[in-house]
A and B are shown apart, each in its own frame.
Chain A
Amino acid sequence: MASGARNDGRFEPWKAPGAEPYIRIDRVTKKFGDFMAVNDVSLKIYKKELFCLLGGSGCGKTTLLRMLAGFEEPTAGKIFIDGVDMAGIPPYERPVNMMFQSYALFPHMTVEQNVAFGLHQDKVPKSEIRQRVTEMLDMVKLGQFGKRKPHQLSGGQRQRVALARALVKRPKLLLLDEPLGALDKKLREHTQFELVNLQEQLGVTFVVVTHDQEEAMTLSTRIGVMNAGEIVQVGTPSEIYEYPNSKFVAEFIGSVNMFEGRLIEDEPGHVRIHCPDLDGNVYVDHGVSSPPGAVVFAAVRPEKIVLSRDKPASADNMAHGIVKEIAYMGDMSTYLVRLDSGKMARVTQPNTWRHADDRITWEEPVYLNWHPSSPVVVSE
């Protein structure tokens, strides 16, 4: 689970003090009857960002996107795009384009006609349309497919037509609903990078909906994690992964070991948590703001745990158990360890050596330990 290559610390407009957000979603709520599809969401998205909305099925991602595009009106709250209040502005007058999950290619038009459609609506001169369509099709490597109809294309080609059709209008903001959802895994990975390249090349702001956390990690500058109609955390991929702000986020992104416990020591520089599941306490080298005695969870990522046969020196941050399951995954292996308390823990270790005869195997007693900076303390 590598964090995004894009977050290199240079492009961070959300940190700039006076920066104006390009999209401002202000306490937006959407109800379908009595059902809250989107609940009091506020978000700021900046120019040239690639913002991912990530969340489980039915959590309201598509609904939020459709409100940006203008297909749904918010029940309450306001949406500003480039400082303009979008209330009552129909989809065909918004400076926004959308790429649909089903691609929504017009079946009765050729690829060229599909791509040219939006330009015709804007009354762009004919010669310019031809030139821009050709340019765009070359950019998505569909130059020789212009005369085909959508049903004569493969899934990946259709995806690129849909992208070209949305991008050829040079929108300032492109909304993508599960853009890679219909592609197989290999094509998906390949296309992810193409998408990022295109976005950087054209300087368009992207808002991408996905429920694939790996995709969100690779693509985005920032991620907004949604749950049951609410945004629960906004941050860069590494922030979300390393500093989840709740049990939900920690468990939703990647895999994690949750050790339930009670705060017994709470200093500004460190905390100590008593976890019945572990042999010792969890010692964390940064402070948290919970009252002593509160029930909290220490979240430890599997790759941050070290397995050893020897007992670690420190009495904190360790546990003893028996290896129950090993899954070899090539670059690394995942171990399922049953702790003495009965709780199962998940540990991943890189396969650094090819022939390791003394590799830890099934049913072997082992010690787990981790660095005091590794656990994240979250509450329910």
Chain B
Amino acid sequence: MSRKVPLFRLSVLVFGFAFLYVPILSLIVYSFNKSRLVTVWAGFSTEWYGRLFENQQILGAAWLSLKIAAINATGAVILGTLAGLALARFGQFRGRTILSSMTTAPLVMPEVITGLSLLLLFVAMEQIIGWPAGRGVTTITIAHMTFTMAYVTVIVQSRLATMDDSLEEAAMDLGARPAKVFFLITLPIIAPALLSGWLLAFTISLDDLVIASFVAGPGSSTLPMVIFSKVRLGVSPDINALASIMVLLVAIGVVIAGILMSRQEKTRQRDMQMAIAENQ
């Protein structure tokens, strides 16, 4: 009995991860296909990578998307940290329930609804106060900040919930005012959570098609919008090349993060052993 169970688990994992990774691998393999038909193998070639880097439309859209993603992530981290702090540390305040609903609802709200409603808001605002004039980078960034801050809020809130609040009390007890406590104690301690929140907000923004399509204006096509208009017409080998590059970048990032984390873990364990060894 005890031997059959691991076999079951192993096959589940093999099957599951195959399901998750075969499509991604197939993208990469076919990106080196000479044939324009993508899935009919006609020999090895790196031609499509060359084509990709000549495609000004894709490059421009990629640059725009990266810019929006970076600004969005920064704004979302600021807003999400404030909201997470209020929800995790301020106890019961008036409007707490509303704030907490408003920060979790965007997590599951269908994108078409968010996109449509934000567009209608921007149109109405332009009519009434004249800002934002037209739609473009600003409106996309605002829209992305609104729904990515929800993710940051959840991350910050749960990080703060596991953080020992006596650290903050100790700082206050030693004479630091609340604002100082936040910047000197809370912020450095939750910094890793903020970093992962930033990365998450960055990725989601970089990935978003639907909301951006609603609130974008002429001339502000983001990378997903350009990709979508291309793949709607069928497979296209330079998109495979683009996908491979993105996977490669993510993989490099993950490997680096993994190495850093395991190194940190090792030093931490060595330090602990050292402390125990000389325990007096």
A contacts, CB < 8 Å to B: 69-71, 90-92, 96-98, 100-102, 104, 106-108, 117-118, 121-122, 149, 151-157, 165-166, 169
Q: Contact at B164–A152, with CB atoms within 8 Å?
A: no
Q: What 4 A-B pairs are tightest by C-beta distance, nearest first?
A: A118-B174, A121-B175, A104-B170, A154-B279
Q: Which of A97, A102, A156 contacts B174 (CB 8 A)?
A: A97
Task: Tell me the bound Cα distance from A309 to B170 in angstroms.
Answer: 60
Would you give 28 A-B contacts (Cβ < 8 Å), ordered by A?
A: A70-B173, A71-B169, A90-B172, A91-B173, A92-B172, A92-B175, A97-B173, A100-B166, A100-B170, A101-B166, A102-B166, A106-B170, A106-B171, A106-B189, A108-B189, A117-B176, A118-B175, A121-B174, A121-B175, A149-B271, A151-B271, A152-B271, A152-B272, A152-B274, A154-B276, A157-B275, A157-B280, A165-B170
Are A106 and B275 also in contact (CB < 8 A) when A100-B170, A121-B180, A154-B280 are?
A: no
Q: Is B278 an interface residue (CB 8 A)?
A: yes
Q: Contact at B177–A92, with CB atoms within 8 Å?
A: yes
Task: Tell me the bound Cα distance from A106 to B274 in angstroms.
Answer: 20
Within 8 A of A (CB), among B109-167: 164, 166-167
Q: Contact at B189–A104, with CB atoms within 8 Å?
A: no
* B194 to A: closest C-beta gap in Å: 14
Q: Contact at A100–B275, with CB atoms within 8 Å?
A: no
Note all chain A residues with C-beta closer than 8 A to B258.
none
Within 8 A of A (CB), among B229-280: 268, 271-272, 274-276, 278-280
Task: Tell me the bound Cα distance from A337 to B167 in angstroms.
Answer: 51
Note all chain A residues with C-beta closer than 8 A to B167.
104, 106-107
Task: Tell me the bound Cα distance from A104 to B175 in angstroms.
Answer: 15
Task: Tell me the bound Cα distance from A214 to B176 in angstroms.
Answer: 36
Q: Is B227 an interface residue (CB 8 A)?
A: no
Q: Is B88 an interface residue (CB 8 A)?
A: no
Task: Tell me the bound Cα distance from A91 to B166 in angstroms.
Answer: 13
Task: Tell me the bound Cα distance from A151 to B185 in angstroms.
Answer: 16
Task: Tell me the bound Cα distance from A149 to B169 in angstroms.
Answer: 20
Note all chain B residues with C-beta closer than 8 A to A121.
174-176, 180
Q: Contact at A154–B278, with CB atoms within 8 Å?
A: yes
Q: Which of A102, A107, A149 contacts B189 (CB 8 A)?
A: A107
* A170 to B: closest C-beta gap in Å: 12
Note all chain A residues with C-beta closer than 8 A to B174.
92, 97, 117-118, 121, 165-166, 169
Note all chain B residues with C-beta closer than 8 A to A152.
271-272, 274-275
Q: Contact at A117–B171, with CB atoms within 8 Å?
A: yes
Task: Tell me the bound Cα distance from A289 to B280 in angstroms.
Answer: 53
Q: Is B217 an interface residue (CB 8 A)?
A: no
* B123 to A: closest C-beta gap in Å: 47
Q: Contact at B189–A92, with CB atoms within 8 Å?
A: no
Q: Contact at B175–A154, with CB atoms within 8 Å?
A: no
Task: Tell me the bound Cα distance from A71 to B169 in angstroms.
Answer: 8
Q: Which of B169, B180, B271, B280 contacts A91 (CB 8 A)?
A: B169
Are A151 and B170 also in contact (CB < 8 A) when A102-B164, A108-B188, A108-B189 are?
A: no
Note all chain A residues with C-beta closer than 8 A to B166.
100-102, 104
Task: Tell me the bound Cα distance from A96 to B176 in angstroms.
Answer: 13
Contact with A along B169-203 (1 / 0, CB 8 A): 11111111100100011001100000000000000
Q: Which of B170, B272, B275, B276 contacts A98 (CB 8 A)?
A: B170
* A99 to B: closest C-beta gap in Å: 9
Task: Tell me the bound Cα distance from A97 to B174 in angstroms.
Answer: 7
Note all chain B residues with C-beta closer than 8 A to A155.
279
* A79 to B: closest C-beta gap in Å: 16
Q: Contact at A100–B169, with CB atoms within 8 Å?
A: yes
Task: Tell me the bound Cα distance from A350 to B167 in angstroms.
Answer: 47
Note all chain B residues with C-beta closer than 8 A to A122.
175
* B50 to A: closest C-beta gap in Å: 48
* A189 to B: closest C-beta gap in Å: 15
Q: Contact at B276–A91, with CB atoms within 8 Å?
A: no
Task: Tell me the bound Cα distance from A342 to B30 in angstroms.
Answer: 91
* B226 to A: closest C-beta gap in Å: 43
**A91 and chain B: residue at smallest CB distance:** B172
**A154 and chain B: residue at smallest CB distance:** B279
Q: Contact at A151–B172, with CB atoms within 8 Å?
A: no
Q: Which of B176, B184, B275, B280 contacts A92 (CB 8 A)?
A: B176
Q: Contact at A92–B271, with CB atoms within 8 Å?
A: no
Q: Contact at A106–B185, with CB atoms within 8 Å?
A: yes
Note all chain A residues with C-beta closer than 8 A to B173.
69-70, 91-92, 96-98, 166
Note all chain B residues with C-beta closer than 8 A to A97.
173-174
Note all chain B residues with C-beta closer than 8 A to A107.
167, 189
Task: Tell me the bound Cα distance from A130 to B28 in angstroms.
Answer: 59
Q: Contact at A151–B268, with CB atoms within 8 Å?
A: yes
Other contacts beyond A96-B173, A154-B280: 15, CB < 8 A: A91-B172, A92-B176, A98-B169, A104-B164, A104-B170, A106-B171, A106-B185, A107-B189, A118-B174, A121-B175, A151-B268, A151-B272, A152-B271, A154-B279, A166-B173
